[in-house]
Structure 1
């Protein structure tokens, strides 16, 4: 059994390694459901001083399946994936790919909605949201009378 870990693993003896491999083989239930969040995709949001950048992982989607909207200070990214089942009698032994609508919403105030730009390359959606330019007002001292 191969282990991938970001940290250095403590040294283990051969009998422990063999027992773990044996347990993994017999405890892996092939028919068990996958316990993960569905209808969810990962995103990164960066603040780049004059604009925000939202990058969303959407592998397996085409550009036509993705919709980006900005309404009432909310940036909404949605993507829809249809099931590829051709025959209703077809049954799965295990199905881990999710189908349906995937949606993420982000509150983003002070965005110039007319200049939002979205690109989709290699399964990554990149949305650049320029901020509204607010003029810098110098501090004014008020005299107390």
Structure 2
């Protein structure tokens, strides 16, 4: 039912990671100590997918985003979650040491077939986007063999 297509995948293989490379230096500098949550959560959308008898449920982690920053599109059996962040932290202090501007966008797509498109529902609460996709047994995809010529 689901094919997952991450928008951006971070290198997690320690054997291939170069701890002294320029990429590692920047990743370490912009770690959670200086910019909490934005870069860690901003590079991809982590999601759990559950199935019940009547529906599929996607729970996607989007911490720190506002509901207005999130867009969900369903077209041609592809569900896409997109987030656009434009955030300015403006602390009114004389002789400020740090001022931050955070801009970024990311998305994640899922292939979803055999669902009732018109009955899909979504809610966002405490950084978790929950999308409920009711099953449609009448739209069940039928596979067929393709002959090679």
Fold-level similarity (TM above 0.5)? yes
Is 1:104 aligned to residue 97 of structure 2?
A: no
Gaps spanning 5+ residues in structure 1: where? 1-30, 136-145
Q: Which runs of 4+ in 1 moved over 6 A?
A: none
Aligned to 1:9: none
3-state DSSP of counterpart to 1:60: coil
The structure whose residues are more often strand, as a share, is 2
Gaps spanning 5+ residues in structure 2: where? 1-23, 29-39, 91-95, 140-149
Equivalent pairs, count: 100
From the superposition, tell whether residues 62 and 85 of structure 1 become closer, same or farther in structure 2 (CA, over 3 Å).
closer
| Greater Cα radius of gyration, structure 1 or 2 | 1
**Aligned equivalents of 1:79, 1:126: Cα separation in 2:** 14
Is 1:114 aligned to residue 118 of structure 2?
A: yes
Aligned to 1:32: 25
Question: Residues 118 and 125 of structure 1 are in contact (CA less than 8 Å); yes or no, is this contact kept in structure 2?
Answer: yes
TM-score, structure 1 normalization? 0.58
RMSD: 3.2
Superposed displacement of residue 84, structure 1 = 1.7
TM-score, structure 2 normalization? 0.57
